[in-house]
């Protein structure tokens, strides 16, 4: 069994000494990071490189489908929960940050510096990449930037190009704060940036929140419940109120899960759950996640995603999945460069889309080219990881 560290801190009920997780125990969770990031790549590849959903059904009515077309479309729909996978990742982030702060406590300034040097170098490179790709599309494949058709992608690219051409100091400041530069358009039209602001706001909150952790959990739950009411009543929320009314609760859940794991017999009890019940629960949650995502019921789908994250983390830490499992062995390496994959994949997929338009002359594709682009973009992100994020990490470790 891996070596552990114990303290005399305990909870009032179902308590045992705090047993901090080792890095070797935590390492298996990287496969979940890899799965979430790769899932988002597939989700965005489908959006950029394939006209699916209603548009596809209008061109190819189901009455003309054979069994192969039904199976292919069902496979397409399995990647419809891109937003929900980000929520899953928020839970993981809360878990990892809680682990890191308990394992090696950092004072506020040291914590903020650590997060800045970890996030900003690859982020700024991704901004340059996104801007370069968008400028390249505008100059070499201008037909992609149009409002002539009803496709969201093309009109959004045109809006993003106009925002880039009129970028000022205020807009540049918004970029540094992970905010859109115009409406809901991010610089370079890299749509993944929307999740960086909630992540940064959580990091800003960590030193204070973890100082009074139980109060943080209670307040987070109450704010989430109030936020759910506000959302159902169509009350407008901005970036600040939206974080506290929604996203913060997912980070708090991840941190709370870590505390439950190290302070109680949660994993021991989890090991006694019948296998059929565990796996049927996870499959049921995943199936529900897809359905709720397609229906765009984001409050319920967020709850579903967070519950799925809790079960997945618990199953891995409890040893309910063999280290030789083929899915784990595929996604664990991807988890190592998951941040680079997340940051860089969207502009690279846009580049693939531009090449397709240049080669075919078509703006809308009904052939599933995105299945071909996914491995190419993933490998390109892996190469960029070694050229950017990994270099940055090694440099700042030396400093």
Q: What is the mean pLDDT of residues 93-107?
A: 95
Token readout for 62 is 């189901």
State the pLDDT at residue 11.
Answer: 39
For residues 40 and 191, what is the distance between their CA atoms, to the nearest angstrom?
A: 11
For residues 337 and 224, what is the distance between their CA atoms, to the nearest angstrom?
A: 31
Token readout for 84 is 């929900």
For residues 251 and 352, what is the distance between their CA atoms, to the nearest angstrom?
A: 34
State the pLDDT at residue 13.
Answer: 38
For residues 91 and 247, what is the distance between their CA atoms, to the nearest angstrom?
A: 9
Q: Which of 41-55, 262-276, 293-307 has the lowest mean pLDDT?
A: 41-55
Q: Above pLDDT 70, what percent of the chain?
A: 95
Is pTM beyond 0.85? Reply is yes
| Domain ranges for the chain | 27-398
For residues 267 and 314, what is the distance between their CA atoms, to the nearest angstrom?
A: 7
State the pLDDT at residue 16.
Answer: 54
What is each CA distance from 4 to 7, 48, 93, 221, in whole angstroms? 10, 47, 22, 31
**Quick check: helix, strand or coil at residue 195?**
helix
What is each CA distance from 287 to 150, 282, 293, 363, in whole angstroms? 30, 9, 10, 32
129 pLDDT tier (thresholds 50, 70, 90): very high
Q: What are phi and psi of 3, to 5 degrees?
A: -65, 145
Report DSSP state, residue 185. B
Torsion of the alpha carbons at 332, 334, 336 and 339, rounded to the nearest 10: -140
pLDDT in tens, 335-390: 999 999 999 999 999 999 999 999 999 998 899 999 999 999 999 999 999 999 99
Token readout for 127 is 């901004």
State the pLDDT at residue 22.
Answer: 87
State the pLDDT at residue 399.
Answer: 66
323 pLDDT tier (thresholds 50, 70, 90): confident
Encode burial over 7-43: b for 16+ CB neighbours within 10 A, e otherwise: eeeeeeeeeeebeebeeebbebbbbbbbbbbbbbbbb
């Amino acid at each position: 069994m891996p070596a552990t560290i114990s303290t005399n801190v305990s909870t009032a009920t179902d308590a045992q000494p705090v047993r901090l997780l080792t890095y070797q125990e935590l390492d298996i969770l990287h496969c979940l990071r890899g799965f979430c990031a790769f899932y988002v790549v597939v989700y965005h590849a489908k959006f950029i490189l394939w006209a699916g959903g209603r548009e596809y059904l209008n061109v190819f009515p189901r009455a003309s489908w054979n069994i192969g077309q039904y199976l292919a479309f069902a496979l397409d729909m399995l990647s419809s929960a891109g937003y929900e996978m980000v929520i899953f990742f928020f839970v993981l982030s809360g878990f990892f940050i809680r682990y890191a702060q308990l394992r090696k406590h950092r004072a506020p300034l040291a914590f903020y510096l650590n997060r800045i040097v970890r996030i900003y170098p690859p982020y700024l490179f991704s901004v340059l990449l996104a801007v370069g790709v968008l400028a390249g599309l505008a100059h070499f494949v201008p037909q992609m930037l149009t409002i002539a058709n009803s496709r969201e992608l093309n009109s959004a690219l045109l809006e993003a190009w106009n925002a880039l051409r009129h970028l000022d100091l205020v807009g540049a400041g918004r970029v540094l704060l992970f905010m859109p530069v115009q409406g809901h358009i991010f610089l370079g039209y890299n749509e993944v940036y929307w999740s960086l602001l909630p992540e940064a706001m959580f990091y800003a909150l960590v030193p204070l929140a973890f100082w009074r952790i139980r109060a943080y959990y209670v307040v987070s739950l109450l704010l989430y419940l109030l936020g759910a009411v506000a959302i159902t009543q169509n009350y407008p929320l901005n970036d600040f109120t939206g974080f506290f009314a929604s996203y913060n609760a997912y980070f708090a859940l991840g941190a709370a899960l870590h505390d439950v794991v190290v302070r109680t017999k949660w994993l021991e009890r989890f090991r006694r759950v019948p296998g059929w019940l565990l796996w049927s629960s996870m499959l049921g949650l995943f199936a529900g996640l897809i359905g709720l995502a397609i229906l765009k019921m984001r409050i319920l789908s967020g709850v579903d995603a967070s519950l799925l994250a809790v079960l997945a983390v618990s199953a891995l830490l409890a040893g309910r999945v063999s280290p030789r499992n083929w899915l784990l062995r595929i996604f664990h390496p991807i988890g190592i460069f998951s941040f680079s994959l997340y940051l860089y994949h969207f502009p690279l997929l846009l580049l693939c889309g531009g090449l397709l338009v240049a080669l075919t002359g078509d703006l809308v594709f009904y052939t599933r080219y995105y299945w071909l682009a996914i491995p190419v973009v993933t490998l390109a992100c892996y190469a960029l990881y070694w050229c950017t994020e990994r270099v940055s990490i090694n440099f700042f470790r030396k400093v």
